[in-house]
């Protein structure tokens, strides 16, 4: 029998249910919400009692033992629930925002590179307000890119996302060129700037992907066309890992300039302009129209623009 005590139906629980219905996986839902799986299960148990329906059931045929299927009742309520949460967010959209008194958590979609380039300056800026603001990194998932911005699970996406949906708002921060890195004591470090020596050296190629490095696709194609296959030591999906491998071998890694400069200092690398011409990458911030006029969101966008658009990397 359904428990109709609406006083027990909390908006926070409905937000949890919205994520569970979308993810259909309690572990992923907990990760998305920044909480634990037992906490999600406790909320789900409360909602099952309220609605008199299991809402999601374990999918016994799935390889993932945590995969779930929606009941017919849950499938019916998915869209109305999402609309309800959108309307609820809209009620607070015009509330005044004071960074020194707000306890707002700003959530940012970033790649692994974005994590090291953007989050430390943002954390410093937020801490400088002296209030209770905080920052959370949201894992990048190309399938839910727009949905996470629309739902408020992420406030901004920072990085190079050429496949971002056209309906999103965007603001260019800067263009990034490429730099190559090698370990500081590379035996040919003074010669690698010449095209012949560059092509003859061993290389680590970072591979483009739909999640995070899609803008790198053209640069990867250029490098693959200029470097013979026998000179490719590794193909890796991460700029950071490529730099680490370069610091331990005599191979060259070619990275976006800002991350190359940052990692060169951390890993005792030297940077130089690659001997083959590579396209630049546009770095921007993206957000959803729903939050365009929100005062807190506007403050956060301005902070990001001030931090990242008004400075340029200086190669060492």
- CATH code for position 127: 3.40.190.10
Domain interval for residue 109:
105-174+282-308
For residues 166 and 182, state if they share a domain. Answer: no
For residues 261 and 301, state if they share a domain. Answer: no
For residues 168 and 216, state if they share a domain. Answer: no
Predicted TM-score (pTM) of the model is: 0.67
Indicate the burial class of 139 (C-beta count within 10 angstroms; 0-12, 13-18, 19 or more): middle
Q: Which portions of the chain are predicted below pLDDT 50?
A: 1-3, 313-316
In a domain, 100, yes or no: no
In a domain, 194, yes or no: yes
Write down the pLDDT at residue 66: 66
Write down the pLDDT at residue 111: 87
Write down the pLDDT at residue 315: 42
Number of domains in the chain: 3
For residues 13 and 70, state if they share a domain. Answer: yes
For residues 266 and 201, state if they share a domain. Answer: yes
For residues 169 and 189, state if they share a domain. Answer: no
CA dist 135 and 216 (Å) reads 27
- CATH code for position 70: 1.10.10.10
For residues 127 and 187, state if they share a domain. Answer: no
In a domain, 313, yes or no: no
CA dist 271 and 250 (Å) reads 14
Write down the pLDDT at residue 278: 94
For residues 169 and 192, state if they share a domain. Answer: no
């Amino acid at each position: 029998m359904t428990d109709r005590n609406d006083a027990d139906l909390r908006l926070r629980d409905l937000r949890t249910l919205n994520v569970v219905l979308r993810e259909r996986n309690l572990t992923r839902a907990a990760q998305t919400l920044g909480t634990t799986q037992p906490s999600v299960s406790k909320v789900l148990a409360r909602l099952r009692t309220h609605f008199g329906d299991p809402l999601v059931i374990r999918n016994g045929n799935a390889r993932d033992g945590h995969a779930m299927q929606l009941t017919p009742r849950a499938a019916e309520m998915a869209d109305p629930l999402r609309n309800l949460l959108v309307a609820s967010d809209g009620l607070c959209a015009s509330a005044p925002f004071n960074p020194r008194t707000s306890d707002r958590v700003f959530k940012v979609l970033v790649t692994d590179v974005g994590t090291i380039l953007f989050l430390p300056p943002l954390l410093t800026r937020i801490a400088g307000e002296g209030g209770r603001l905080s920052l959370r990194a949201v894992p990048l998932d190309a399938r839910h890119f727009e949905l996470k911005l629309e739902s408020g699970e992420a406030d901004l996406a920072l990085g190079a996302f050429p496949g971002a949906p056209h309906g999103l708002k965007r603001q260019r921060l800067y263009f990034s060129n490429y730099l190559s890195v090698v370990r500081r004591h590379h035996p040919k470090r003074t010669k690698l700037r010449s095209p012949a020596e560059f092509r003859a050296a061993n290389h680590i190629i970072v591979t483009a992907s739909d999640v995070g490095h899609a803008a790198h696709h053209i640069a990867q194609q250029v490098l693959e066309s200029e470097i013979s296959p026998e000179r490719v030591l590794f193909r890796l999906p991460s700029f950071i890992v490529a730099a680490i491998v370069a610091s331990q071998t005599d191979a060259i890694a070619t990275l976006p300039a800002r991350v190359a400069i940052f990692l060169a200092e951390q890993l005792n690398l030297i940077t130089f302009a690659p001997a083959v011409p590579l396209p630049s990458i546009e770095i921007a911030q993206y957000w959803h129209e729903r939050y365009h006029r929100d005062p807190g969101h506007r403050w956060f966008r301005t902070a990001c623009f001030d931090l990242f658009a008004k400075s340029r990397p200086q190669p060492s």
